[in-house]
Amino acid sequence: MNFSLIFASGGFGLNLNLFETNIINLSVVIFGLYKFLPNFLGGILKRRREAILVDLTDAEERLANSSRALQEAQKELAAAEQKAQQIRSDCKLRAEAIRLESEKRTVEEMARIKQGAVSDLNAEAVRVSSQLRREAARLAIEKALETLPRKLDEKAKADFVTQSINNMGAS
pLDDT in tens, 73-115: 999 999 999 999 999 999 999 999 999 999 999 999 999 999 9
Sorting pLDDT into bands at 50, 70 and 90, what band is 10?
A: low
Domain boundary assignment for the chain = 4-152
DSSP conformation letters of 35-71 = HHHHHHHHHHHHHHHHHHHHHHHHHHHHHHHHHHHHH
For the chain, what is the largest distance between any 2 Cα atoms, rounded to a whole number of angstroms?
197
Do 3 and 9 touch, CB atoms closer than 8 A? no
The pTM assigned to this predicted structure is 0.41
Q: Are 16 and 3 in contact (CB under 8 A)?
A: yes
Residue pLDDT, tens place only, 23-73: 778 888 888 888 877 777 778 888 999 999 999 999 999 999 999 999 999
- Looking at residue 73, its pLDDT comes to 96
